[in-house]
């Protein structure tokens, strides 16, 4: 700093010397301020470079074209705009002197194709010009200056974007560094030819979280070595810059409009599975770096060798990776294979797991659609629909009989593991439940609290669904609910749940018992599958489902009850539930257990019978099923009273309900 002798400033900026200004809040224009910031930032090489370059520019003037030197705020504003709106995915700095002009040109081409904005400094600029590469803002290749030191403009651009767009106040070092590390999508590629001083200077950019990829023989240090063919990909991967997929490169139209279209026997070219041949589908998670994004492999014969109208084996194996991808999400993503294949105009898919049935139409075949294209469709759609979650998707389609059979065996093991995991999940195993507000349009104060043993009252969403939905869309309809301290174990009342419900209902509901019908039951919207309600006369609880249109012993039909308890109300004695909840351990726990159940419509009884009878037996009530009345055995409360006494229903002897 001692060498600085004059005053200096850049004209077209409100940010003085942006890097120094952002780091310290000090406007640097002369030696004393330069010394001040240099000291304040612990002799930071970037700050030093910035001050020295500013002074040099003031003394000698800007370098001639094509070099841009310091770029004005107006242009930076436009640049920042493109970063925010997504027309530019990120920034790259190329510094040094490449050994081969052609490979440098190839790197630039790749950056352009991937919507990166590239800044250049040093020998790479004349090198590219000699290879005939056009430079300038229009080409997204910006030549900052003839020396590596001019790279400091790259840093002052990032600093200005942080201050203009990132809410970073000048002097808020911490915020600036966080912004640079987490939000700024910037990578640095270093060619050979840097002096030690220049190396130290470039290395100073690491503090900003910019990955530094080295194409030269720089030893020691934390730079990532790379080759010209993988340097761009590696850099973008490290920084998490992903190119969004927009097109599906197959000879077949693909749209949700085709989802319901079926392919009849006469229309199909080939089919797979459906009981006619072995088939399965499986989605697995892999570690980042283990798979190549977009890779599609067909193992076995292609459609060209298949006989028209015949059935062939098929294994669909999707491998995905992503920084936030979890094993739990595998089944959720796997379910999408069905939708995606159906979006194809000439492809059709039914069922799931090892029961799938897939067809490709004659029309699609005549247009050139192959088995491989199904893979491309799947790879593209998974990336398009889960841009944040998945970084890479690779698809393998197996049509070789032996390999399909082997793969199917492995898949079946995995399906079993998954089922066991979900079955075994208990409320006590987790600290977080999930809420759902999807039906709040009709019931402003209603919120479902979903636990592993208590699915949403609409029957459509399980605890796992809620968890995954939250992780994929953190601002969506499913939010985490911290359980908090236990208030009442039998009723399933928790402090955290109470707090959550109170907030979500704007203070209307203060307490919520997850397992009780009588005390502080959960609120209901209107889309519950069934209603559990008290019948005080017989000291029991009855259940009626939506499909049952007749009268119940309560004196009310489902529809009357639904009208009164819905709309976000908490009605002690009444709870809206899903049908599957009846089979849960927690059903009626607050009231003493399933022994309270006295009446259910006959059709619902039949529907639940295969699972309910063994469940009751396991609980020590092998004959309880017959003691639960229905509209045939007891239509009115009087009939029910008599019936229950006759069969000796346990509810009659239990603690009074109220």
Using CB under 8 A as the criterion, which residues of the chain lie in contact with other proteins when the complex forms? 77-78, 80-87, 164-167, 256-262, 437-438, 440-442, 444, 475-477, 506-507, 518, 526, 534-537, 553-556, 561, 564, 566-567, 571-574, 636-638, 658
CB of 593 vs other proteins, minimal distance in Å: 21
Residue reference for tokens 């600290």:
431
- Cα–Cα distance between 623 and 255 in angstroms, integer? 53
Tell me the HSE value of 653 on the side-chain side, using a 13 A CA sphere.
6
Distance, CA of 38 to CA of 642 (rounded, Å): 93
Q: Which is nearer to other proteins, 61 or 260 (CB)?
A: 260
Nearer to other proteins, 78 or 609 (CB): 78
Residue closest to 298 by CA, chosen among 230, 369, 220, 386: 369
Cβ closer to other proteins: 554 or 589? 554
Query: Which lies closer to other proteins via its Cβ, residue 318 or residue 657?
Result: 657
Phi, psi of 272 (to 5 degrees): -135, 135
Shortest Cβ distance from residue 564 to other proteins (Å)?
Answer: 5
Q: Exposed, middle or buried, 19 (CB in 10 Å: 0-12/13-18/19+)?
A: buried
Contact 228, 146 (CB under 8 A): no
Structural element, H or E, at residue 55: helix 45-60
CB within 8 Å of 465: residues ≥ 6 apart: 332, 450, 478
Question: Whole-number minimum distance, CB 290 to other proteins, in Å?
Answer: 30
Residues in Cβ contact with 39 at an 8 Å cutoff, skipping those fewer than 6 apart: none
Q: Minimum CB separation from other proteins for residue 168, in Å?
A: 11
Q: Which is nearer to other proteins, 165 or 415 (CB)?
A: 165
DSSP string for 361-429? EHHHHHTT--HHHHHHHHHHHHHHH-TTT-SEEEEEEE--HHHHHHHHHHHHHHHHHHHHHHHT--GGG
Closest approach of Cβ 91 to other proteins, in Å? 15
Question: By C-beta, is 518 or 604 nearer to other proteins?
Answer: 518
The total number of residues shown for the chain amounts to 658
Distance of closest approach, residue 630 Cβ to other proteins, in angstroms: 18
155 — alpha (psi -120 to 50), left (phi > 0) or beta?
alpha
CB of 464 to other proteins, least distance (A): 20
Q: Which is nearer to other proteins, 481 or 535 (CB)?
A: 535
**CB 370, min distance to other proteins, A:** 23
Of the pair 47, 161, the CB lying nearest other proteins is at: 161
Q: Is 559 helix (H, G, I), strand (E, B) or coil?
A: helix
């Amino acid at each position: 700093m001692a060498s600085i002798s004059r005053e200096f400033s850049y004209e077209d900026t409100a940010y003085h010397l942006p890097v120094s200004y952002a780091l310290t809040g000090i406007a640097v224009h002369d030696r004393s301020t330069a010394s001040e910031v240099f000291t304040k930032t612990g002799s930071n090489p970037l700050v030093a470079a910035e001050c020295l370059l500013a002074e040099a520019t003031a003394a000698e003037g800007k370098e001639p074209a094509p070099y841009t030197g310091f770029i004005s705020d107006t242009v930076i504003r436009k640049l920042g705009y493109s970063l925010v709106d997504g027309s530019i995915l990120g920034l790259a700095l190329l510094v040094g002197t490449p050994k081969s002009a052609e490979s440098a040109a190839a790197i630039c081409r790749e950056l352009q194709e991937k919507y990166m904005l590239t800044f250049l400094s040093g020998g790479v600029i004349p090198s590219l010009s000699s290879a005939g590469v056009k430079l300038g803002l229009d080409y997204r290749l910006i030549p900052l200056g003839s020396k590596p030191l001019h790279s400091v403009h790259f840093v002052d651009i990032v600093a200005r974007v942080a201050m203009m767009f990132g809410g970073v106040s000048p002097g808020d070092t911490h915020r600036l560094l966080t912004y640079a590390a987490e939000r700024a999508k910037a990578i640095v590629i270093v060619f050979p030819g840097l002096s030690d001083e220049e190396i130290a200077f470039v290395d100073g950019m690491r503090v900003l979280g910019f990955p530094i990829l080295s194409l030269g023989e720089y030893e020691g240090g934390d730079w990532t070595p790379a080759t010209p063919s993988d340097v761009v990909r590696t850099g973008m991967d490290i920084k998490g810059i992903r190119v969004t997929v927009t097109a599906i490169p197959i000879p077949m139209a693909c749209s949700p409009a085709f989802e319901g279209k079926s392919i009849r026997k006469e229309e199909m070219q080939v089919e797979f599975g459906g009981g006619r041949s072995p088939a399965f589908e499986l989605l697995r998670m892999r570690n980042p770096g283990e798979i190549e994004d977009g890779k599609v492999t067909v193992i076995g014969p292609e459609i060209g060798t298949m006989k028209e109208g015949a059935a062939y084996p098929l294994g669909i194996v999707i491998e995905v990776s992503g920084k936030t991808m979890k094993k739990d999400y595998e089944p959720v993503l796997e379910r999408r294979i069905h939708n995606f294949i159906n979006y194809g105009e000439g492809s059709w898919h039914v069922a799931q797991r090892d029961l799938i049935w897939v067809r490709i139409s004659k029309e699609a075949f005549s247009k050139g659609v192959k088995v491989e294209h199904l893979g491309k469709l799947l790879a593209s759609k998974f990336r398009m629909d889960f841009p944040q979650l998945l970084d890479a998707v690779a698809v393998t389609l197996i049509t070789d009989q032996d390999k399909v059979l082997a793969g199917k065996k492995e898949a079946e093991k995995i399906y079993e593991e998954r089922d066991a995991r979900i079955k075994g999940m208990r409320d006590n195993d987790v600290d977080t439940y999930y809420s759902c507000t999807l039906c709040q349009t009709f019931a402003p104060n209603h919120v479902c609290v979903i636990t592993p043993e208590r699915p949403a009252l609409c029957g459509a969403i399980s605890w796992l669904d809620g968890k995954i939905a939250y992780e994929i869309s953190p601002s969506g309809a499913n939010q985490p609910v911290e359980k908090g301290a236990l208030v009442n174990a039998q009723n399933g009342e928790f402090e955290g749940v109470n707090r959550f419900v109170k907030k979500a209902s704007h203070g209307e509901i203060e307490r919520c018992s997850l397992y009780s019908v009588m005390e502080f039951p959960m609120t209901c919207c209107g889309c519950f599958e069934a209603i559990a309600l008290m019948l005080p006369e017989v000291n029991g609880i009855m259940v009626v489902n939506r499909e049952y249109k007749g009268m119940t012993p309560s004196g009310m039909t489902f529809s009357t009850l639904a009208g009164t308890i819905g709309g976000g109300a908490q009605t002690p004695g009444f709870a809206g539930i899903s049908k599957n909840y009846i089979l849960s351990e927690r059903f009626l726990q607050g009231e003493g257990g399933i022994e309270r159940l006295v009446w259910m419509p006959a059709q619902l009884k039949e529907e639940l019978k295969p699972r309910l009878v063994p469940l009751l037996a396991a609980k020590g009530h092998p004959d309880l099923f017959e003691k639960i009345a229905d509209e045939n055995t007891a239509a009115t409360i009087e009939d029910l009273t008599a019936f229950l006494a006759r069969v000796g229903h346990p509810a009659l002897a239990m603690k009074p309900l109220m």
